[in-house]
Structure 1
Amino acid sequence: MANEKFDTQNVFGQGDKNDAYAQYFIGQSYLKNLVSADDNVNVNVGNVTFEPGCRNDWHIHHNGYQILLVTGGEGWYQEDGKPAQLLHPGDVVTIHDGVKHWHGATKDSWFSHVAITTGTSEWLEPISDAAYDALSKD
């Protein structure tokens, strides 16, 4: 999906370059915090936008969970040992405590999701280019 069409779907906006977490991503991501610990709640809510081909590293959420609400474009979600799932606007992914996973854009589309996250994140190895390039929408 081209950026111009994607921008009309990305209702919360792209946000700023996600420099604080850049070391855990391949490609450029953007983050717009919607709710944070500063709001005196124990959950972080942010709109994460991925440029085409951008994805985060494998990671695990400890003592919490993550819920992804897909808001724009096309992306991937994969749990360790399972096939990758193609995601579209309106899809919801629930990631339980201790589940190793990654998520990101397809090669040819921008992608955004609202991430609702509690607990702490353990960042692991990146998704290899070979594994990512082998993903197919078919």
Structure 2
Amino acid sequence: MYRKSHQIAFHPQANKDEQLYKSEICHKMSSYTSNVSIKKRDTTIKAPISPITQHGRAEGAASISSEAFGTFVGQVWLDPMLKSGDDITVVNVNFQPGARTNWHRHDKGQLLKVTAGSGWVCDQGQKPKRISVGDVIWCQPGGIHWHGADDGSYMVHEAVSLGGIDWYDPVTEEEYAKKTA
């Protein structure tokens, strides 16, 4: 026989005389649940409608030096991450101090996210704006601009380019110097 200390109140409002033993509670509870139907949930994993695509640098592949393109001033390394036809290009770009893009435009715009260092971005006809780690910059579709590292800092940014790119003249030393004028 159980001692009183093993008795449990079946209901919070039950008084001490109405306490039940654990075995009695189990018996009462089983009578409640025996008539309940349990429906199992379908946990089948179905294939996604559109496959997930993973891109990355091919094993052993190296970053590409900007010298091969002629679209940068100074030393820049490009690390292509995604090329989806002519619509979307994602590139990790590492600028050495003072390096920058030529003037250029994107048909559908460009998103830049600075991941290291600091630099500048400049729309044609405007004064350059300082950018640094964590900044996200939207370059308007068709807007002619340049971007690159500060004189005393490397800069790394991820560039998501939408649509085609038209490249123009290099950014001159005089144009680059306007960032501090």
Q: TM-score range by the shorter chain?
A: 0.7 to 0.9
Which one of 94, 113, 117 corresponds to residue 69 of structure 1?
Answer: 113
The TM-score with structure 2 as length reference comes to 0.62
2:104 counterpart of 1:56? no
Whose radius of gyration is greater, 1 or 2? 2
RMSD of aligned residue pairs (Cα, Å): 2.1
Which one of 67, 90, 112 corresponds to residue 134 of structure 2?
Answer: 90
1:74 counterpart SS class: strand
Tell me the amino acid that sits aligned with residue 104 of structure 2. Answer: H
Decide which structure has greater strand share.
Answer: 1
Cα distance in 1, alignment partners of residues 64 and 166 from structure 2: 23
Q: What does residue range 113-128 of structure 1 map to in structure 2 within 5 Å?
A: 113-128=157-172
In structure 2, the partner of 1:17 is 65
Cα distance in 1, alignment partners of residues 124 and 93 from structure 2: 21
Structure 1 residue 20 displacement after superposition? 3.6
Q: Which has the higher contact order (CA 8 A, sep 6+)?
A: 1
Structure 1 residue 42 displacement after superposition? 3.3
Tell me the amino acid that sits aligned with residue 54 of structure 1. Answer: A
* Number of residue pairs matched by the alignment: 121
Structure 1 residue 41 displacement after superposition? 8.7
2:150 counterpart of 1:106? yes
Q: Is the CA contact 2:88–2:161 (under 8 Å) kept in the aligned structure 1?
A: yes
Cα distance in 2, alignment partners of residues 105 and 49 from structure 1: 9
The TM-score with structure 1 as length reference comes to 0.79
Cα distance in 2, alignment partners of residues 94 and 101 from structure 1: 11
2:73 counterpart of 1:26? yes
Cα distance in 1, alignment partners of residues 171 and 86 from structure 2: 32
Tell me the amino acid that sits aligned with residue 61 of structure 1. Answer: H
Cα distance in 1, alignment partners of residues 130 and 156 from structure 2: 13
In structure 2, the partner of 1:46 is 91
